[in-house]
Amino acid sequence: MILDESSYQLVKKIKDGDIKQHPLFIELSNWMNQEFGYNILCCGYHHEKIDSKPPYMINRLDIYSNDNEALIRMQQDGFNMREYGKNYPNEEKTLSYFLNLVSKYSIPKFSFLRRPNYYSTLDKTERDKIFIEEDRLFVIGHSFEMAYREELISSFSKQLEEEIFKHFTSIKIFKIDFFFGSIYVFYKSIEDKEKYDMDKTSEEIKECCFQFIKDKDEYKYISYDNLSFVTDSDELVQAKHNGYLNYYR
């Protein structure tokens, strides 16, 4: 699941040591690491009213892995899977352990008249009183690495574009775009794409991007090999998608 901006910033503060979470969530994270071998960064409870017809409430236990590999392992073990009639033991154990912690720490529910439209425990510490609703509670896994990569590439998208155009002035680049932490270079024609992919120009552009971004990656998540870099052509996008670049989003 994609992190919203406020959750991302709070999880980053937890990773950086600027927030020490409520002991309940520290204990849950440590238990998951020991019980399943996941690389869990932190956990949190999310409560939100969704104004739809009819309106409904979300009660969610969020699990934030440090890296993409941990989230993939969690998903392989059934986290984030919603198949009717199927049971996923690790997810069920996690939810059961969490509810036991809620009881252990004597965490109250919201009072009926003071139930908020939005509530998160990510910024709550030992000094704070927290609230947790157990009704229809479910578990969702997230990857901090995935969110960080997207934020990093997005933050430096303008500078990355300038770097490419500065170093590759003779290349027929139609457009450069950035979607979900990936860099997309659109050449003008299909022939251009085939030529630049074949003669390693595309690899040189990717290397240019990596050299620019690597020193800004404070957690060293990005390597040349795992930097998401895609080439395409305006001609092909026009032919297949009527020029609609949101096909990539």
Mean pLDDT of the 171-194 span: 95
The residue ranges of DSSP E strands in the chain, in sequence order, are: 40-50, 56-65, 118-120, 138-143, 173-179, 182-187, 229-233
Q: Is 133 helix (H, G, I), strand (E, B) or coil?
A: coil
Question: How far is the C-alpha of 4 from the C-alpha of 9, rounded, in Å?
Answer: 9
pLDDT band at 52 (very low <50, low <70, confident <90, very high): confident
Q: What are the extents of the domains in the chain? A: 5-148, 156-248
Percent helix, strand and coil across the chain, each to the nearest 5:
45, 20, 35
Mean pLDDT of the 57-70 span: 96
pLDDT band at 244 (very low <50, low <70, confident <90, very high): low
Neighbouring residues of 196: CB distance < 8 A, sequence distance ≥ 6 = 171, 187, 202, 231
Reply yes or no on whether the pLDDT at 156 is more than 90. Answer: yes
Please say whether the beta carbons of 176 and 158 come within 8 A: no
Compute CA distances 246 → 49, 101, 181, 242, whole Å. 29, 44, 15, 11
Q: According to the model, what pLDDT value does residue 247 have? A: 63
Q: According to the model, what pLDDT value does residue 55 have? A: 83
Q: According to the model, what pLDDT value does residue 54 have? A: 87
Mean pLDDT of the 118-142 span: 95
